[in-house]
Amino acid sequence: MDIFVRKTAYTGPVQSVILDWAGTAVDHGCLGPAAVFVDVFAGAGICVTIDEARQFMGMAKKDHIRSMCRLPSVERAWKAKHGHTPDEMDLDTLYKDTTVRMVDTIANHSDPIEGVVETMEKLRAMDIKIGSSTGYVQEMMDVLVPIAQEKGYHPDAIVCSSDVPAGRPYPWMCFLNAMKLNTYPMEAMVKIGDTVVDIEEGLNAGMWTIGVTRTGNEMGLTPAQVADLNPSALAKRLAAIEVRFKTAGVHYVVEQTADILPVISEINEKLLAGERPPLAG
């Protein structure tokens, strides 16, 4: 391809998309990781809620644990149980347990979300490459990637938090994806994810961002559980997630990754007009 030099606005099409894994591409509801964090803290004698576990989803797993340990409720419970607030040694122990449990759990939460495989093939037919980023580390991806591939989901580039100096919301995983996919400039890329830090990662990388509401961590439900919700209750929950994403600065919101094709077309129109991803705020 011709090398774009930033003397004028980029007016070409979207070249690549980068998808999160759990809740965006596989594992409807992001159920596997959430359950693991609850179990890990329970193993240390600390009761945490699923909501406490979910609020840091998308971060590198050690950062996730560190953030949970800083919750006032966890600090109080830890001090009552162990005589001190969580220290780095405790953090390392929790992380080791998380890695073991996550590896064991991932295989059971590897099904592609409905429509994802077909949507990726349609993107490839548009000459759009598929990248991916995740808070999982390499040991976890070594289990997830081959199983997901057997089920039809196979990104062109895979980057995990252990491949870069720091995970989300830092943009490093997006930049490494860009290098692996040979994509430039960054406004020719779209970040798709189901958490606030997914959105922040894409914004920090200078990319277009799409937030996924119904299938992801923020909703936290299986397809059957979503289907059982009263329509008005579902609409209320989706609207609340959309507000959180828009507050974070997301450019577009969809219910599921299978809904992104019209958004990609709209982004292409904006790029053709010389527009760049607007700044948050």
Question: Known catalytic residues?
Answer: 20, 61
Q: Are residues 89 and 185 in the same domain?
A: no
Q: How confident is the model at residue 123 (pLDDT cuts 50, 70, 90)?
A: very high
Predicted TM-score of the model (pTM): 0.91
pLDDT over 70 at 1, yes or no: no
Q: Are residues 115 and 103 in the same domain?
A: no
What residues are paired with 26 via a beta bridge?
A: 22, 112
pLDDT value of position 103: 87
pLDDT over 70 at 66, yes or no: yes
We report the CATH number of the domain holding residue 260 as 3.40.50.1000
Q: Are residues 262 and 168 in the same domain?
A: yes
Residue of 177, 192, 176, 181 lying closest to 113 (CA atoms): 192
Hunting for tokens 């090398």 — which residue is that?
A: 3
- Per-residue pLDDT tens for 14-29? 999 999 999 999 999 9
Of 63, 87, 108, the residue at which a domain comes to its end is: 108
Q: Are residues 138 and 201 in the same domain?
A: yes
Question: Residue 2 falls within a domain, yes or no?
Answer: no
- Per-residue pLDDT tens for 224-251? 999 999 999 999 999 999 999 999 999 9
> For the chain, what is the domain count?
2
Q: C-alpha 231: how far from its chain's center?
A: 26
